[in-house]
Amino acid sequence: MTLNYSKFVERFSFYSLLFFVFWLPLFEGFLPTVFGIWIGFWVLEGNFKSRFRKFNFTSGLNLAFFAYFLLSLFAVLYSSNQAKAWMDVQQKLALLVFPLLIGGLSEYSQKNIRWAFWAFILGLIAASIYDLAYAFQESINAGANEGVFRYWVYEKHHHIGFLNLVNLRMSFFSYGYLSQFMHPSYFSMYLIFAIILLYHLYKTKENTTALSILLYASLTLFFTLLIGLLQSTAGLLSFIALILAVIVIEFKFLNRKRILAISVGLLAMLILGFFGSDFSGKKINDLTDTTLESLSTSTSIRMEIWKNSIALWKENPIRGVGPADVRADIQEKLQTTMPAEFEFANFNMHNQFLESLIGLGIIGFITLCLILFYIIKIASRQKNSLLAYLILIILVNFIFESMLNRQSGLFFILFFVSLLELYFKQNFLPKKSNIPT
């Protein structure tokens, strides 16, 4: 009876993990409930001594996570917005919880980690289909009176072609109009990582058939198309950086036929993702043209925010202003340097490095750098290509988004960093592998 109960709970703990990672790209408001279900079954498994016998509580990465949490907790003491400060602490608890959850996975869960990759991919497929269906519905409804398929958001753009409107982020099939569950930058990041997971699953698959190759290729091209439609600056730059990394890391292990096949695939991905896109010229112009006349563009606004954030940090260099007060303080700073007609209430720092520097001071910034350093160290020590690609994606997105302040960013990073370390430890380190990494 006890054995049956143990197996039942063990299986449902694993299924709840799969449900959590499946739900990660979907409705964010329900994610804490799904997370709680996973934690509940995880606790019911019991047998903690056995499950944690190989878990290193004092590893450099776990200590860095703990230090960052303590800094966030200490910041409550000097934060003006106490309610928001405690909410931030509650969110940062994930820094402690995820390593424990993954480190204490049962043997059954550890043996079936690859199913978590597929659950994440299936969640993205579901989210993508919903987003595209929503865009189609909006286009049909918007043009119902005229009897046209109106893919443009505003009537004044009716004469502009589809691809140009996608580039301008003014189509129902682009940017925030397309991404219904989360910010486009986060959705793009998920899709890019899913492409890497597909590549890993393909190259580590024992037997490949024509049908399986078609499946991997179709999903890769589908996700690439969505990355192009989303038109996220961070997403597009991450995609380019990832392609370059794949070329550098993978190609030296491949024969000519595989090099040719992957080259054709990468070329197709580039064409799908960037055909008709004026991304490079548009964004470079945005970055260089930071005059007041161009402040209506998001990039130049971010540049102005970043410039003022440095001035704010100089006023509180050691401990920072507290994560809960960053937005209000930068808002106040901007009011003295920006034209009155610009409203910044909806803008955050859009840079995790600056967010940590302003919120937690130089100590918080150093702690964040230590977290990244230990992740890179683990990837290097394990020859963990998946973790290496993930940290590259994270670094690029840290430049454009305050990822640790959003549930969709924090949960994604902590879950997959912990999971990939365990996955490679269980599958590739005990024995030599000819899998290129």
Provide the residue ranges of all domains of the chain, joining segments of one domain with +: 1-53, 60-101+286-437, 119-277
For residues 351 and 357, give the distance between their C-alpha atoms in angstroms, rounded to a whole number.
10
**Which 3 state secondary structure label does DSSP give 399?**
helix
The predicted structure's pLDDT at residue 277: 45
Q: How far apart are CA 142 and CA 410, in angstroms?
A: 36
pLDDT tens figures, 3-23:
577 888 888 999 999 999 999
Length of the chain, in residues:
437
pLDDT classification of 433: cutoffs 50, 70, 90? very low
**Single-letter code of the amino acid located at 80:** S
| Contact residues for 6 (Cβ-Cβ < 8 A; gap 6+) | 45
CB atoms within 10 A of CB 301: 20
- Distance (Å, whole) CA 274 – CA 237: 11
Whether the predicted pLDDT of 285 surpasses 60: no
Q: How far apart are CA 175 and CA 221, in angstroms?
A: 18
| Alpha helices (runs of H) in 45-92, residue ranges in sequence order | 48-51, 60-74, 82-92
Q: 228 with 195: CB under 8 angstroms? A: no
For residue 152, list its beta bridge partners: 171
pLDDT tens digit sequence for 53-87: 777 777 889 999 999 999 999 988 888 888 888 98
pLDDT of residue 205: 79
According to DSSP H, which parts of 93-230 are helical? 94-103, 107-111, 114-142, 162-168, 175-178, 184-203, 210-230
pLDDT digits (tens, 9 = 90+) for 230-260: 988 888 888 888 888 887 777 665 555 555 5
Residues 6+ apart with CB under 8 A from 33: none
Q: How far apart are the first and last CA of the chain?
A: 44
